[in-house]
Amino acid sequence: MIDQYGRRVTYLRVSLTNRCQLSCTYCTLQDEPAEVMTPDEIETILRVASDRLGFRKVRLTGGEPTLRRDLPDIVRRIDAIPGIREVALTTNAMLLERRAAELHAAGLRTVNVSLDTLRPERFKELTGSDGLADVLAGLRAARDIGIPNVKVNAVLMGGVNDDEVADFVRFAATERIEVRFIEHMPMDSERVERWKVEPREVLAALAGEAGVQPLPARQDGGPAERFRVGEATIGFIHAMSNPFCDRCNRLRITAEGTIRSCLLTGGEVDLKSAIRAGGSAAEVERRVEQLFRQAADMKPPIYDLQREGGIAMRAIGG
């Protein structure tokens, strides 16, 4: 699908729930649990997105998607859609050790583990949980069961965890897992300067210590700038200091069942109501297709960070 600015939109992020067992400092909002979409509804949406509109990659997010008991069924249904080339999951990995095998068998091929510190005391401070050991066990279980792409996403926050960059680089080398450093994206005006870290300064420090070799851009057009540092593979995603809006290829379905055209700005259309409005299967599919096209055309040429005020990150899936 091509939006009005000529961008090819082929990547869909689906938030399966706004529930999470952690209380991360930059994420948590005290929302009521959303009424989530069913596996049948998700499958209908993804078939339309793939067959009619050319979507090729799906990432399941939350909240925390592993809290849904039907997650393997959802993965299996999506993986069976012929046009979908990759089913990915973003997770805090607290439950991943016990679920990795069934998710791999269902067709999961990419796991991104959200992990902002490797220090137990700091993990508890940031998340309200003593579960760092569970996260690391889940990450290793996903790798060892044979899920091909296992990565860590670490949000860099100045004065909070920016002193752990070298630790994460060593972790990437030791665990044979790519670590991606994500620039903190403030969701309200009070946080625009708070926790700010300059990715280029971090990269320059790494280059001075260990040498940095740029890696080719990924064929899927992902936003990460990737590098080789010794035996480690790392990446940087800096949507604030270096926006990649001109090549953005994604839409988001929120936990409440709306299509969001952009993480930060743009607009939303009500997808869940269209699915539940009744009619024949063909009528439902036509409504879904129309809403996808409407949402794509609402994608802004570049985001305006504060136009809409505070945004519930756990509801839109990051």
Instruction: Quickly tell me which residue has 């670490």 as its tokens.
Output: 154
Q: Are 3 and 266 in contact (CB under 8 A)?
A: no
CA distances to 2, 11, 257 from 288, rounded to whole Å, are 16, 16, 12
Best CA proximity match to 195, nearest among 121, 123, 116, 112 = 116
Q: How confident is the model at residue 243 (pLDDT cuts 50, 70, 90)?
A: low
Exposure string over 156-172, b if 16+ CB within 10 A, otherwise e: bbeebbbebbeebbbbb
Binding positions for S-adenosyl-L-methionine: 26, 63, 114, 185
User: pTM score, two decimals?
Assistant: 0.90
Q: Give the model confidence (pLDDT) of 208-220 as tens digits.
A: 666 789 998 766 6
Model pLDDT, residue 96 = 98
Q: Give the model confidence (pLDDT) of 137-187 as tens digits.
A: 999 999 999 999 999 999 998 899 999 999 999 999 999 999 999 887 665
Best CA proximity match to 255, nearest among 11, 8, 19 = 19
CATH architecture designation of domain 11-316: Alpha-Beta Barrel (3.20)
Higher-confidence position of 211 and 229: 229
Q: Where are the domains of the chain?
A: 11-316
Model pLDDT, residue 307 = 45
pLDDT at 189 over 60: no
Model pLDDT, residue 248 = 85
Binding positions for GTP: 13, 59, 90, 151, 250-252
Binding positions for [4Fe-4S] cluster: 20, 24, 27, 245, 248, 262
> What does the alpha-carbon distance between residue 228 and residue 236 come to, in Å, rounded to a whole number?
12
Model pLDDT, residue 306 = 41
Residues 6 or more apart whose CB falls under 8 angstroms from that of 220 comprise 11, 57, 86
> What does the alpha-carbon distance between residue 22 and residue 92 come to, in Å, rounded to a whole number?
8
> What does the alpha-carbon distance between residue 203 and residue 199 come to, in Å, rounded to a whole number?
6
Structure tokens at 34: 């959303």
Model pLDDT, residue 27 = 76
Higher-confidence position of 261 and 54: 54
When pLDDT is averaged across residues 24-39 and rounded to a whole number, the result is 78
Q: Are 259 and 295 in contact (CB under 8 A)?
A: yes
Binding positions: 13, 20, 24, 26-27, 59, 63, 90, 114, 151, 185, 245, 248, 250-252, 262
Q: How confident is the model at residue 309 (pLDDT cuts 50, 70, 90)?
A: very low
In the chain, what percentage of residues exceed pLDDT 90?
A: 66
> What does the alpha-carbon distance between residue 107 and residue 37 come to, in Å, rounded to a whole number?
20
Q: Are 228 and 266 in contact (CB under 8 A)?
A: no
pLDDT at 29 over 60: no
> What does the alpha-carbon distance between residue 29 and residue 243 come to, in Å, rounded to a whole number?
25
